[in-house]
Amino acid sequence: MQATHSNADAAVPAKSGVRRVIVVGAGIAGLSIAWSLARRGIEVDLFEQGSIPNPKSSSFDEHRINRHAYGRLQGYARLMPESFRLWDAMWSDLGVRHYESTGGIYVLRTDDDWYETTAASLDEVGVDYHDIPLDQLERLVPMIESEGVLRAVHVGGSGLLYPNRILTDLVVHLAARGVRFHAMSAVTEVDPERGEVTAGGKVHAADMVVVAAGAWIDRLVPSFRGQAVPSRQAVLFLAPPPDLAALWASAPVIVVKDDEAGLYTLPPRNGTRLKIGDHRFSRIGDADEDRLATEADVESLWHGLRKCYRDIDRYGVLEQKACYYTVTEDENFLVRAIGPQGWAVSACSGHGFKLAPLVADSVARAIAGEAGAAEIERKLEGR
Ligand SMILES: Cc1cc2nc3c(=O)[nH]c(=O)nc-3n(C[C@H](O)[C@H](O)[C@H](O)COP(=O)(O)OP(=O)(O)OC[C@H]3O[C@@H](n4cnc5c(N)ncnc54)[C@H](O)[C@@H]3O)c2cc1C
C-alpha cells in the first residue's frame, strides 16, 4: 500500500528548524505524534509514566469504532476521509492493517436530529447509507429489541480498529526508527516556554514538548483544568448465548440511541470479545483509580441493555471494566499550542482513537513549520 502523506519519509530538516521533540504519554495520541514526527526526520524522546503500552491508558483495549457517521459533530465527519487516508499510511508503514470494515447499524429510538445531520455529512463525504425497514431489522439483528425503534439505518464507511495490536506494532516500528522510549518515567513538570520536562527529578530539554497525557493531562497543563475533564466510563464484555454466537460473529458495529442510553456495541470479531458501552459521560473520577467497574458503575448500562436488547440476561459477563478519558463541554477536541515550545493534545470525549493519526499529522505539520498553529487548532476543533 502506498503512503499518502505529503512529507512521508522525507527526512529533510523541518522548515521550523525543530530537530528534537519530547512527547509525554504513550497512548495512541503520543505514539501517533511520535510516528508523524519520525516520518519527518524529527528525533523523538517519548516519556510514559507506566509501561509502554500502559493498560491504564484510554487507548488500551481490544477494539474501537472507526466511522464517518457523526451526528451534530459535522466538523469531525468532514475530517474523516483524511483520517482514513492517514490510517492507510500507518498500515503501510507498519506492514499490517489493523482495521476491519464491518459497516454500522444505527438504531434510533429517540426523535432527535441525528439522522438529518448525519445524512447531510455522509452525502458531503460520499459515504453510502440506507434505511433498514423495521420488519427486516428483526431478521438482520434479532438480538435488538425492535419494540420502540423509530428508525434503523445502515451506514457504510465504518468498522473496527484493533488498538492493542496497533499500539504494540507502533512501538516496535518506532523503536526501529530511532524513537527513544522512557517507560516508567512520570513527567512531573512541563515548561512549554523552553521545551523542557522534568522526569525523575531531572530536566530534559528539546526544541518542543508535546503533552498527550490522556485523562491525566490537566495535571500537567493548567489551562486545560476544568475544560478537559476526566470521565469514568463503564464497559461490559459479554459472552453471547450459544444460539446467538454465529449471529454476533458476523454482526456489524451497532449503535442504539435511546432517551435513556447511547449504547455502542462492538461485535466479537477477529480475536476480540463482544463489548458494549454507553456514550453518556459520567464526568467524575480520578484516572489513577483501578479499572474494575463496580456494580454502581454498570447499573445504568444494564438498564439501557435490558431496554434495548433482547434476552440480555442470558449473556455471560466476562468483564466489567472502568476506563477514563477526558470530555469537553461540547465533545470537541482541545489541541493547543501552549507556549512557543509546547503543544497539548486532548483528543477526547470518547472519539479520539479514530482521529489520532490525523490529529498527530496536523500537530506535526505545525511543529515542522508546514502549517500555522492557529490553522491547526481551528481544524482540530472540528467546527
Ligand atoms: C471504553 C472506551 C471506548 C472508546 N471508544 C472509542 C471508539 O469507539 N472510537 C474512538 O475513536 N475512540 C474511542 N474512545 C476514546 C479513545 O480511546 C481515546 O480518545 C484515546 O485512546 C485517547 O488517547 P490518548 O493517547 O489521548 O490517551 P491515553 O491512551 O490515555 O494515553 C495517555 C498516556 O499518557 C500517560 N501519562 C499520563 N500522565 C503522564 C505523565 N505525567 N508522565 C508520563 N506519562 C503520562 C498515561 O499513562 C497514558 O499511557 C473510547 C475510550 C474508552 C475508554
CA–CA separation, 359 vs 357, rounded Å?
A: 6
Q: What is the mean pLDDT of residues 162-177?
A: 98
Q: What is the pLDDT of residue 347?
A: 83
As a whole number of angstroms, the distance between CA 245 and CA 239 comes to 8
Confidence band for 116, pLDDT divided at 50, 70 and 90:
very high
Beta strands in 212-291 (DSSP E): 229-239, 253-258, 261-266, 274-278
| Pair (114, 167) in one structural domain | no
State whether 242 and 369 are in the same domain: no
Give the confidence band of 329 by pLDDT, cuts at 50, 70, 90. confident
State the Cα–Cα distance between residues 371 and 375, nearest whole angstrom. Answer: 7
Please give the average per-residue pLDDT across 1-15, as a whole number.
53
Q: How far is CA 203 from CA 11, 141, 187, 195, in A?
A: 28, 56, 10, 10
Q: Is the CB of 285 under 6 A from ligand 1?
A: no
**Residue 10 within a domain:** no
Confidence of residue 225 (pLDDT cuts 50, 70, 90): very high
Q: What is the mean pLDDT of the chain?
A: 94
Mutate to test the pocket of ligand 1, among 56, 64, 86, 298 (most ligand atoms within 8 A of CB): 64
Same domain, 309 and 234: yes
Lookup: cell for 199: 522526569
CATH no. for residue 198?
3.50.50.60
In what helix (H) or strand (E) does residue 319 lie, and over which residues does it extend? strand 316-327
**241 and 136 in a common domain:** yes
Task: Determine, yes or no, domain membership for 96.
Answer: no
Residue 383 has pLDDT above 90, yes or no: no
Show the domain range for 145: 101-159+230-327
Query: How confident is the model over 192-199, as a mean pLDDT?
Result: 98
Res 207 pLDDT > 60: yes
How much is the pLDDT for 5?
40
Q: Does the structure show a pLDDT above 70 at 12?
A: no
Q: What is the CA radius of gyration of the chain?
A: 21
pLDDT tens for 360-382 read 999 999 999 999 999 999 999 98
Locate the ligand 1 atom nearest the alpha carbon of residue 59 and give its number.
21
Mutate to test the pocket of ligand 1, among 33, 58, 332 (most ligand atoms within 8 A of CB): 58
Counted domains in the chain:
2
Q: Tell me: pLDDT of 3 over 70.
A: no
* Ramachandran category for residue 178: left, alpha or beta (phi over 0 → left; psi -120 to 50 → alpha): left
Is a pLDDT exceeding 60 seen at residue 114? yes
Residues 292 and 203 occupy one common structural domain: no
Tell me if 108 is assigned to some domain: yes
| Domain presence at residue 86 | no
In angstroms, what CA-CA distances link 305 with 119, 232, 300? 26, 19, 9
Confidence category of residue 11, pLDDT binned at 50, 70, 90:
low
**Which of residues 305, 327, 349 is at a domain's end?**
327
Query: Could you tell me where the DSSP H helices lie in the chain?
Result: 28-39, 74-94, 114-125, 134-140, 163-176, 217-220, 242-249, 295-308, 356-368, 373-381
Considering only CA atoms, which of 371, 354, 375 is closest in space to residue 79?
354
pLDDT value for 8: 47
Collapsing DSSP to helix, strand or coil, 291 comes out as coil
Is the Cα torsion angle 200, 201, 202, 206 positive or negative in sign? positive
Q: What is the pLDDT of residue 348?
A: 81
Return the pLDDT at 22: 98
In this predicted structure, the answer to whether residue 1 has a pLDDT above a threshold of 80 is no
238 and 313 assigned to the same domain: yes
- Whether 361 is covered by a domain: the verdict is yes
What is the tens place of the pLDDT at every residue in 92-104? 999 999 999 999 9
Q: Is residue 354 part of a domain?
A: yes
Same structural domain, 209 and 352: yes
Average pLDDT for 188-215: 98
| Protein residue with least CA distance to atom 33, ligand 1 | 25
Q: CATH no. for residue 155?
A: 3.30.9.10
Q: Are residues 239 and 317 in the same domain?
A: yes
